[in-house]
């Protein structure tokens, strides 16, 4: 029992329970507003019956030609609402939206250490396309997996053929 609906500015006041998770970054307002202004349909929130925010997904569509794809910028679910398949539903919606936009694939970045997330994405049909070196900055920089899932438009699944070598963040297209 989850209401998935469009994220609105007012949700920013109450998403603390989700964002206090250490792997969920709280960005400055311009970051959220940029997404709300540009890709409002890609920013969705899951709400519990009591009005609590259970989690949210933030994404966009970008790229040229065969690189036209949906991208998951942030996906986070509050501790109390994990293991309900919520992340899966939110991802599924994002894929649907990307299908509607005739994207070729959906991609996302995840910390290589975040095994739980990597396994979950694999279950949802994502595979590691390439490794991005020192993508996450912190006390110790951490690599990211760039994971992808082909959509129906990419019939031969060309977009998900893994790259043999890791890339540096500045070489990302």
Partner 1 sequence: MASRSHVDVNERRLRPIYDCLDNGNNRKAIQEADKVLKKQKDFQCAKVLRALALLRLGRQDESAVLLQEVHTQNPTDDATLQAMSICYREVHKLEAIAELYENAHKARLDNEEILSALFMAHVRLSNYKKQQQTAMALHKLRPQKNPYYFWAVMSNIMQAHSSPDPKLAKTMYLPLAERMTKKYVDEGKIDAEAEVLLYLMVLELQEKWQEAIDLLQGPLGERVVSELNMRSTKLAELHCKLQNWSKANAIFRKLLKENPDHWQFWLSYLDTSFRLIDSGYTPPTEKGEGDGDEGEGEDKVEDKVDSSLEEVMEFINERIKGCQETTPLRGPYLAQMELVRIMRERKSELLKLAGPPSELFQQYYDLFGTKPCCATDLKAYVCLLTPEELQTLLDKFEESSKLTTDNGTPVFADDVKHICKHITILQLSRLAEVYGKRTTEDLLQVSGDLVLRYRKGLDFGKDLLQTDIQPSDPYLLLAAHLLVDLWQRTGQERYLWQVVVQLELGIRRSPANHQFKLLLMRLYAEMGAFGPCPALWNGMDMKHIMNDSLGYFISNHVGRLGHFVAACAMFGTMLRFFSVNHKETTEYLLASYKYGSFGKIREFVDFRDKLQRSFQYKSASTERLLLDLILETNCHASTEQMLSYIEVDPSKERAILSEVSDNRDFTAMDCWDPPSQFRIADYKTESFNEEKAWLHSRDLILRILVAAVMSGQDKEREGKDDASHNGESLTNGSTDESGKGNMAGVVRDLLPRFIQHMESCAKEFSDPKKYPVQGPYRTRITTYLQGNHHQLLVRLVQCFLKVHHLHENGLKNPENKDGEILDSPITDLLEGLTEGSKRTLVKEEDGHACINVSLLEHLIMSAESLSFATTLMGVCSHLLRPLKTSWSKQSRKKKGQNAPQPAVFDKFTALVAELQETAKSLHQVATQFDPVFMALDLSALSLTETLTNTEEESQCEKAVWSKVERSFQQSSHEVCELLHNKLQYLHTCRV
Residue numbers at the binding site for partner 1 (CB under 8 A): 1-6, 8-10, 12-14, 16-17, 19-23, 26-30, 33-34, 36-38, 40-41, 47-53, 79-85, 89, 93, 96-97, 100-101, 113-114, 116
Q: Is 50 exposed, middle or buried (0-12, 13-18, 19+ CB in 10 A)?
A: exposed
Q: Tell me which H or E stretch contains 100.
A: helix 86-100
Q: Which is nearer to partner 1, 144 or 160 (CB)?
A: 144
Q: Which residues of 83-110 are buried (b: 16+ CB within 10 A; e: fewer)?
A: eeebbebbbebbbebbeebebbbbbbbb
| Nearest CB to partner 1, comparing residues 80 and 119 | 80
Closest distance to partner 1 from the beta carbon of 124 (Å):
14
Q: How far is the CB of 166 from partner 1 (least distance, A)?
A: 22
Q: Which is nearer to partner 1, 34 or 152 (CB)?
A: 34
Residue nearer to partner 1 on the CB measure, 116 or 172: 116
Spatial separation of the C-alpha atoms in residues 133 and 100, rounded to whole Å: 32
């Amino acid at each position: 029992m989850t209401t998935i609906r469009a994220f609105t500015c007012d949700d920013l006041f109450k998403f603390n329970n989700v964002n206090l998770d250490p792997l969920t970054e709280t960005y400055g307002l311009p970051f959220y507003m940029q997404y709300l202004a540009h890709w409002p349909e890609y920013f969705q929130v899951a709400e519990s019956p009591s009005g609590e925010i259970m989690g949210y997904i933030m994404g966009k569509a970008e790229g040229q030609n065969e690189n036209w794809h949906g991208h998951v910028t942030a996906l986070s679910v509050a501790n109390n609402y994990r293991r309900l398949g919520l992340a899966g539903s939110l991802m599924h919606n994002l894929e649907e939206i990307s299908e509607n936009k005739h994207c070729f694939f959906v991609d996302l970045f995840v910390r290589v250490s975040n095994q739980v997330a990597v396994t979950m994405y694999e279950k949802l049909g994502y595979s590691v396309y390439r490794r991005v070196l020192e993508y996450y900055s912190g006390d110790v920089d951490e690599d990211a997996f760039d994971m992808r899932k082909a959509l129906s438009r990419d019939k031969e699944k060309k977009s998900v053929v893994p790259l043999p070598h890791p890339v540096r963040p500045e070489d990302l297209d």
